[in-house]
Structure formats: C-alpha cells, structure tokens
A and B are shown apart, each in its own frame.
Chain A
Amino acid sequence: MWLKNAMWNWRQKRRADAELDEEVRGYAEMLAEEKVKKGVERRQAQWEAKMELGSMEQVKEQTREARAGYFLETLWQDIRYGARMLRKNPGFTIVAVLTLALGIGANTAIFSVIESVLLRPLPYDHPESLTEIWNTYLPAIPLGGVSPGDFQDWQRETKETVSEMAAYAWVQQGANLTGDGDPQRVELNWATSNLFPMLGVKPAVGRLFVPDEDRPGSAPVVVLSRRFWQSRFASAPDVIGRVVTLDGLRYTVVGVLDEGTHLLDSPDMWMPMGQFQDNLTEHVHHEFVGIARLKPGVKVAQARAEFEALNRRSAIAYPTEHKNFKVLVRPMQDASAAEMRQSLLVLFGAVGLVLLIACANIVNLLLARNAVREKEMALRTALGANPARLMRQLLTESTLLALMGGGFGLLLAAAGIKLLGQTVPANLAAVQQARLNGPVLLFTIIACLGAGIVCGLLPALQARGANVNAVLKQGSKGAGAAASVKLHNLLVIAEIALALIPLIGAGLLLRSLHELLNVSPGFQPDHLLTMYIPQAALPSAQLSKLTPAQQRQLTQKQSLQFEQIVEQVGGLPGAKAAAGIDMLPLASQIKQASRFVIEGEPIPDAGVRPIAEFRTVTPGYFSAVGTPLLSGRSVGEQDWDGLNIDINEAMARRFWPQGNAIGKRINLCSFDPQPCWTTIVGIVGNVHQFGLDAPPTYDVYYSGGWTPYLLVRTASDPSRLALVATNVVHKIDPVLPVADVMTMDDLLSSTLSPRRFSAVLTGVFAVLALLLAAVGIYGVMSYMVGKRVNEIGIRMALGAQPRDVLCLVVAHGAKLALLGVVIGIAGALALTRLMTSLLFHVRPADPATFAGVAAVLAIVALTACYIPARRAMKVDPMVALRYE
C-alpha cells in the first residue's frame, strides 16, 4: 500500500503540486481576508499573512516530503535502525551473515548449474517448438534411432502438426584424416540439408548443405565444425575448396559451422545425408535422430499422436522390419540434460533444506536477541509505536541480514562454480557452462528476500503477540515464556527433521555407489592400459564389391597386422600380455547389434527376436583381460573365417538353460537374404559392456579383422607404458593415429563419475546441513538452559543432584530429537521415492541407511544438548537465585 501510494504520488506529482499550490495560496489569502475583517488595511494584511506563512515554497516542500517520502523515509529509518542494531552486535551479525552466506551460496551455485543444464534454452531459433523423434524397441532398446526409410516416409507424410522435419545420424563415426600434417582420427556425423537452416545455425564461412546433397551419389563434401577449423586449419579463411582425405577418400570442404551444436557429441565434421550410405530407403537400420519443428501452437502431445499413427502405418507396411518398434517424441534437449536432470533436482532439494536449516538458526538467534529487547519493544508499543511498524522493522532487519548473507553467498557461489568447473569430469562438461548470469542473480535476490522473510516472520509475530502489560510488569526473564519455549522446541524438532532428509538422500546415493563399486565388471580392470589405434576403413561401396574370398583375405591381412602389434607391445618389458577388441567393455557404446535366430528352434516373429551385441577380439583376449572361460574354448586364429563364436554366460543360460550351448548354431543375419550361421565353441563370463549399473547384454565374440582398441596388461603402473607402446605402434605403421590412451581404471572411474558427482556433492551438502543443525540445536539448547538457570537453581536448592539436572536437560533434548527424527523419517520416506532411478541395488526405503542416519543424527543432537546440560549441572544455586 505504501509503495502504491508513493507510485501514485509520483504519477500524479504534477497535479498534486498544482493542488498543493492552490491550497497553500488559498490559506494565505484567507489569512489576509481575516486580517482585513479585523480592520487591517488590505496591502498591509497581505504582507502580514505572507510573513506569518513564511516561505510558501518551504511549506510546500515540507508537505511534499511528508507525503511522498513517507514510505521511503520510514523504510530508510528502519534500514538505518536495523544497520545500527547489527553494528552494535557484531558477533551476532557475523554468525548470522556467515550462516546465511553458506545457505544462499550453496543454493546459488546449484541453481547456476540447473540454469545452465536444464533451464537455458538451446541456442537455436524458437527452441521451444523443436522436438526429437526416436524409435524404441523395448525392453532391449529404450532409445534408438529412426531408419532412413521411415524418416523419409514420415518427413513426407507429417502434415498436421509438423512444419518441417530434419535428421542427423544417431551414432557418429570415426575416420582417419590423412594428408597435410599428422594423421588424425576425426569424428563424423551426417545431417539432412534442412537441419542447420531449421535450427538457425549459420555458416561462419562458405555454405552449408543443399537439398541435392541429400541424395546418394552426390559429390563428396564436408562442413567443418568451428572448433576443428580452428585447431586443424588455424581458422584459415581459404579452407573452402580444399580437399581433405578421410579413410582414403577425398572430400571437398564447402563450409564451416558458425557455432557448436548440442546434437549428441559435437563432431569434427559434418557430411550431407547423401554420403551416409547408398540405400536411404531401407527400414532395417535405425540410424537417424529425427528433429521436427512443430507448427505454431501445436503441443508435443499432439505431435506424439500423429507420429504414433505414422509409426503404426510403417509397422503395417514393413511388418518384418518395423513390427514392435514404438515411436518416442520429446522436446529437444541438450543430450546431457536428460541424464543429469534427476541428480540435479536432488541436489537442489538438498541445498534448499540447507538454506531452511540456516534460516532456522537465524530465527533462533533473532528470538534470543529479541528476548533481550522485549522490554524495549513493549515500552515502544505502550508509547504508541505502531505494532505493524515494529513488525516491519524486524522484517527489515532480517532482510538486511539475508541480503548481506546473499552478498557473501555470491562470493562463495562464484568460488564453488569455479571449483566445480575444474573438478567436474569431462563427461559432465555441461556443468562447466554454469555462470552467475542474470537469471541466477535474480534467483539469488529472490532467495535472499525469501530467507529474510522466513527468518524475520516468526520473531516478528512473536514480538507482536507479546503481552505489553506482562512484559512491563515482569523482571528480566521477560514474558511470553511459555510461547517462546514452544517455539524453541519447534525449532529443534525442525532442524533435526530438515537435516535428516538430505543425510538420508546422500546415504542412499553413497550406498548405491558402494554397491556399484562391488559389481565385478567381468574382467580385471587394474593394471590395464588401453589405446585406440583405428585403421582407415575401406569405403562401404568398395567393400561390398569384394568377393567372399577377397573379404576373407582382407580380414586375414588385418588380423595379421594387428597380431604384429599385439606381439610386439605384449613383449615389451613391463608388459605381461596384450590383446585387441573392437569396442572397450564399459564404454557404453553400441558397436553392432543384431537380432538372431537359433537353429532347429521355431523362428519367432521379427519383433520379438532377441538381440545380441557383437564384439571382435584377438586370440588370447580373454586371458589377457581376465574374463574367465567357463567352458569350451576361446576363439582364435582358426576362427578368423567368422564361422565360430564364443558367447557370454547370460546368453548361454537364457537360451540353453540345460548347459548344452556348445556346438549349437545361430544365424546372426536373419534379415539378410544370405544367412550367416555360426557355431558356438565356448562360453565366457559376463562383461558389463554398458556400465556397471546396466545388466549384462547377450554378447557374441568373433575373432579376425582389425580390432582398434589395444589393451596391455602391465606389471606396474600402466600409464608408464603408454609412450613406449605408442612408439611401437608408430614403428610398425607411421600413419596409424594413436588416440584415447588411458588406463582401464580411468575408464571405469569415468563411467562412475556422474553418480560420484551427485553422491559426493549431495554428501557435502548433507554434512553442511548436519553441521548447521548441530550448531543450531546447540544454540537453542544453550539459550533454553540459560533461561532456566533460575528454575535449576531452585531445584538444586531443594535438593536436586547435578545428575538430575543433567538428566532433565538431556531428556528434554532427547524427546525433541526423537520427534524430529520421526518427522524427518516420514518426510524422507515421501521424498526418497522420487530418486529411485538414481539408486542401484538400494531401495529408497533402505532400512540400514535410515537407521544409520537416524542414529548419527540422534547422537549429534544429544551431544549438542549435552554440552549446555553440563553447564546447567555446574549452576551454583546461590548465584542462580540471585541472578535477576
């Protein structure tokens, strides 16, 4: 209301000024008139009136100030008064500001991450109307690409909800770049010509793709990413028209993308759809991610309905290939956003609770301080101070505290964001985009004001409710004692309950991480060096022209080449063994997977055929990495023709539960005209190909061909062998790029890093919550003991032993702790259910975690009570009774 009046005054200033002028002038004239009536001569009367009035301007100015400045002035008074109070109690102020700084700082830091990962719109034209189109094949593939044929059909047939549809390749591929400079492995992706224009991504130089290039057989061209243009070509503007050689084929550079894209991992180069493969109408290989621009006003649900109808039509038109595939339509998002959403929300919840606990501590401090000022307040009320004004003043004070806390909190948040950016693993790079930008600062201000009101409201209401007469009559103990005890009890209960929830959340996450670390990956990850040495692939067009005999010959040649590397590296001093595979275990990447059928068994419908993951290994791979051979033999040189395979235990148990898998034959190309029957010759242990938390897939292992990942088992620290091994590879073939040299322990650790990130961070905030709560409980209990000194003195004078006093205080604390724990557990039970997807082998209501955390919290709470209780024990009854 004050603000509204002030605004009104400002707007109506001119009119109000005129009225004020008229009013004051009228006053002067009436005064003169009065004098004239009394017989004074008119001119004399006017002069006298003027003199009496004083300066008319000054009167008007004073009136204006009284009016418009009323609100601002009282606010300013409150602020000045509040600042004075805070300056007078530096101890109180420092503790309160630091507490709030921790709470607000933590919230700001986490919100900045949320803003950058979840809230910041994608840097495209009208990102809100962009959707992703995927296929799913449940339960094996919860998220998979769309086949080129389906994409083309749907692109043509979407009429109602979609204005335009584009696509890019779901799995990007590597290629060896040779020519000027060192050989280099580059990542490629393929896009339809309308993708970049639709997103609003522009070329920095040159051009992007044209519709003609969507057709197979178009001229070989590439567009570079800005990053690759800078690193490989030093941003040379004449890069346009240059020819780059990728896996032995020549491509012309036609342009450079202006900005990085948020489509999966940013590739080094883009090629037009037409370069992807010759057949772009097939419905077998689910290779593309569809991006659809919705028509204005269309909801995602409407688009989903249309795509579901299109998908049903595809299933009818291509029953063999497409049956059982479902379509998934979702708003376009940064690839990492979906992955991190849940853990970020959990973290946000945890820091929110930290702030609430910080506020509870401030409430306690304010209550304790207001108790001292109770008499002052009562006196002011008795002398006519407006109670609303007093309340507003207390709120101003707490808001002032919160704003100061927010100021320091911003410093803490800036440091925290920097620390996060430096420590966060590469696969959570989105976190590094967190900044203290406008939206984050706005959030901080809202958090400050919110905290100020939360902190100030209870004490202010309490001060207002205080009975003036009672306060003035009573001694130093102050009045409202019963209400105040109740409020303090409530604070202790709240702090315990609020601290319990993040502690349980962190406990569950840490237990999940622990459970995960106990999962055996299926091989020995320690003392294992890995490196990526890809050989240039033969172009598929050329490959398809080879006769089976020529293909066998090629495989033979590649196998022998790689065996040479394996032998020489494995023979290095410090190396115990070496082996090759075409995709690292735990890498969570699909190499190749296919639906299969078993010889002699009924052939299931295409839609329900099981899927097997393909891996190719060198002879001796299993013993080198430590995957046990359970029965039969491991594939080796004699299997380079691709006729024999090993399978993993999960597959053997599922399809041959009687243990008679060896010798059985399966067809792994059941959709091709030519079947490819292979014989199972051995069974090996399960390996977690898709991370420790993913159940083992059905895996088949071939032998023969180039296996680009080299693994070296070492006697000591594997990273020490990295350089020597690289040199050996280059001595054998100088144009082979060696990339991604790392230890298997590093890879294992990076697959766990998202979980570790959220578990450790939640843990840090949970401990912060615990510490703040402990300090708060200690503060409240100390204060309550201080208030009861008199009572304790009387008890002791009447014969109570120090032990009794100790019991009295501790029992009181224990009762509160128990209540807090019970309420906290109820809250945690309700909230932890929301984090089920983040847990591994731990139920959201895990009794061990709940019991453990409750016990820890109870011990901390009782310790926080015990210290003031000890002090109470030492009360001297004589001193206490005289203490008034």
Chain B
Amino acid sequence: MTPSQTELLQGTLDMLILKSLALGEMHGLGISRRIEQVTRGTFQVKPGSLFPALHRMEEEGWLSSSWGESENNRRAKYYQLTKKGRRQLENETQRWGRISLAIERALET
C-alpha cells in the first residue's frame, strides 16, 4: 500500500466529509474529488467507503440529501450539512486538534 492510498479511519473519513460539505452542497463524486484536492491526494476515497459513510451519516442526522442536476445535466444526489452535522464537525475538529497535538508531542519526546 502506498502512502497516497492510506486507508481512512472511519472517524477521519466522517470528519473529512463533513468538512468538504461545510462550503455547500455536493454530490458523491464531488465530495470524493474535494477530499482528494484538500489533502493533496493523500486520501483517495473509494465509492465502497464513500457511499456507506454518506448513508450512515444521513442516518445519524448529520447530512440531508436531495436530487438535483449535475454540471452536465445528469440527475445526481446532492448532500448538505444539517445543523447537527455542523455541530458534529466542530466537535470533531476540536477533538482532532487535541489528539493530533497529543500525538505530535508524544512523538517528539
């Protein structure tokens, strides 16, 4: 496995999805591309992880979805953050900050 294809921890994937949707609604491929873009290709999300995650998060009430037109006039399912999702993103961000700081320190010493 190459570093560029690092398997995503579930929690991390959730966070990345939430983050990419923070700017506005997006369909599956868009989310996948956005994650790739912001992590500079470190994380490539495969549909086999993406769709289960999207549907589970919708179930948890973090996302909502609606059908719309894609750039090339195709019907596509768009996802957007809910209020609950936004709160979750904040929590996740904070938590991630703590953990990454802790791990960084742990590795430094």
Interface residues of chain A, those whose CB is within 8 Å of chain B, are 5, 19-20, 22-24, 26-27, 29-31, 33-34, 52-54, 58-60, 62-63, 65-67, 70, 384
Query: Is B74 within 8 A of A59, CB to CB?
Result: no
Contacts of B60 in A (CB 8 A): 70
Chain B 4-16 interface mask (CB, 8 Å, partner A; 1/0) = 0000000100000
Which of A23, A27, A66 meets B56, CB within 8 Å? A66
Query: Is A70 within 8 A of B51, CB to CB?
Result: no
CA distance A53 to B75 in the complex (A): 19
Please list 23 pairs of residues, one from A and one from B, whose beta carbons are closer than 8 Å in the complex, sorted by A's number. A19-B77, A20-B55, A22-B75, A22-B77, A23-B51, A24-B47, A24-B51, A27-B27, A27-B47, A29-B74, A30-B27, A30-B70, A31-B29, A34-B29, A59-B48, A59-B51, A62-B51, A63-B55, A66-B55, A67-B58, A70-B56, A384-B92, A384-B95
Interface residues of chain B, those whose CB is within 8 Å of chain A, are 11, 27-29, 46-48, 51-56, 58-60, 70, 72, 74-77, 92, 95
CB distance from B15 to the nearest CB of A (A): 10
CB distance from A6 to the nearest CB of B (A): 9
Residue in A33, A60, A62, A66 whose Cβ sees the most chain B Cβ within 10 Å: A66
Query: Is B29 within 8 A of A27, CB to CB?
Result: yes
Residue of A nearest to B98 (CB): A382
Residue of B nearest to A28 (CB): B47
Contacts of B72 in A (CB 8 A): 30, 33
Which of A33, A53, A66 meets B47, CB within 8 Å? A53
CB distance from A18 to the nearest CB of B (A): 12
| Known interface pairs A26-B76, A29-B74; A67-B55 also in contact (CB < 8 Å) | yes
CA distance A58 to B58 in the complex (A): 20
Query: Nearest 10 pairs between A and B by C-beta?
Result: A66-B52, A63-B51, A67-B55, A66-B56, A23-B77, A62-B52, A30-B29, A63-B52, A27-B28, A59-B47
Residue of B nearest to A63 (CB): B51
Residue of B nearest to A386 (CB): B60
Residue in A5, A30, A67 whose Cβ sees the most chain B Cβ within 10 Å: A30
CA distance A58 to B11 in the complex (A): 22
Contacts of A27 in B (CB 8 A): 27-29, 47
CA distance A19 to B27 in the complex (A): 14
Query: Is A67 within 8 A of B29, CB to CB?
Result: no
Contacts of B77 in A (CB 8 A): 19, 22-23, 26
CA distance A59 to B52 in the complex (A): 8
How many residue pairs link A and B with beta carbons under 8 A? The number is: 68
CA distance A26 to B68 in the complex (A): 12
Query: Is B74 within 8 A of A26, CB to CB?
Result: yes
Contacts of A22 in B (CB 8 A): 75, 77
Residue in B47, B56, B95 whose Cβ sees the most chain A Cβ within 10 Å: B47
Query: Is B28 within 8 A of A67, CB to CB?
Result: no
CA distance A29 to B76 in the complex (A): 11
Contacts of B52 in A (CB 8 A): 62-63, 65-67
Query: Is B11 within 8 A of A384, CB to CB?
Result: yes
Contacts of B55 in A (CB 8 A): 20, 63, 66-67
Contacts of A30 in B (CB 8 A): 27, 29, 70, 72, 74, 76
> Contacts A22-B77, A24-B47, A67-B58 given; 11 further ones with Cβ under 8 A?
A19-B77, A27-B27, A27-B29, A33-B72, A54-B46, A62-B48, A63-B55, A65-B52, A66-B59, A67-B52, A70-B60
Residue in A19, A34, A60, A63 whose Cβ sees the most chain B Cβ within 10 Å: A63
CA distance A314 to B45 in the complex (A): 93
Residue of B nearest to A60 (CB): B51
Contacts of B75 in A (CB 8 A): 22, 26
CA distance A58 to B74 in the complex (A): 23
CA distance A65 to B59 in the complex (A): 12
| Known interface pairs A30-B29, A30-B74; A54-B56 also in contact (CB < 8 Å) | no
| Known interface pairs A27-B29, A384-B11; A54-B74 also in contact (CB < 8 Å) | no
Contacts of B51 in A (CB 8 A): 20, 23-24, 59-60, 62-63, 66
CA distance A31 to B11 in the complex (A): 26
CA distance A67 to B53 in the complex (A): 9
Residue of A nearest to B32 (CB): A27
Residue of B nearest to A30 (CB): B29
Query: Is A67 within 8 A of B59, CB to CB?
Result: yes
Residue of A nearest to B53 (CB): A66
